[in-house]
Structure 1
Amino acid sequence: MEHIKSFQLLYREHCEAILDVMVNLQFTLVETLWKTFWRFNENQATDTATLAVHDESERRLPKSCLVLLCKYDPVVLWSRDCDNTLYQGLVEILIPDVLRPIPSALTQAIRNFAKSLDSWLTNAMMNVPEEMVRIKV
């Protein structure tokens, strides 16, 4: 139960971080956030800040527990629901009024970002159970 609570808290913090970078139009940081949350290449991390984040994440919820929780249907479904809420909120923030014109630079940035999403997420979730990856993608 403690691991589930840790997952929920870490996932909430992760979603808040994604919201923050998206609101600030820092689309490329989403890949870094996903890699950090899913602990992609943690053994190859070299900079001090990345190592510190991985150590803190590992202390709060070991990667082995993270992977096991991703096999548990209620956690997978909860994650899907959180993502749906997050993504709907992001749409409302990024495209608030369909009648108002969107600057072409923003439109292009959103298009480029959207083209990269699948590969960024799939890459960040290496070694995560397939069902969780499928739900997230």
Structure 2
Amino acid sequence: MIPNSGIAITIDIGDEHFIHAPKKKEVADRLLFNALNQTYGYNTVDYAAPIFNSQEKKNGGIVLKFKNAETGLYSYEKLNGFEIAGEDKVFYPAKAKIVGRKDVFVISDDVPNPVAVRYAWRNWVVGTLYNAMLLPTSSFRTDNWDDAIKAKK
């Protein structure tokens, strides 16, 4: 809605005890990618982080699909920060893995019939999900519940 504006996702370069991201060069690079693509027309510069697009129930879990992941998804390490819930709206920690380079499969033994997933849905997390250009995925949820709770485990 605001011309020549953009956002740099910094979920992977923050600091738990300091609100301002200490890695200023990474923030500047991500804003530069946005400006080059959106303002100056360098369409070969990838600028957009992966964004949750849709979900599909499959094999006792949920497959998540993303926009801005045409060249694939990536993680430096094991994916973390995923939670999954059933119709009871109780979110449990979940296992997640990248499948087919473009989707994420999320599952938990505690949720036999899942309906919703959340990623990095906390005040402080370290993001682990990127696109192939190493632009991180921001926090997201597939639900719109106001009364969901975290499982006490």
TM-score bucket of the superposed structures, by smaller chain: under 0.3
The structure in which a higher percent of residues are helix is: 1
Q: Which of structures 1 and 2 has the larger relative contact order (alpha carbons within 8 angstroms, sep 6+)?
A: 1
Give the TM-score taking structure 1 as reference length.
0.28
Give the TM-score taking structure 2 as reference length.
0.26
The structure in which a higher percent of residues are strand is: 2
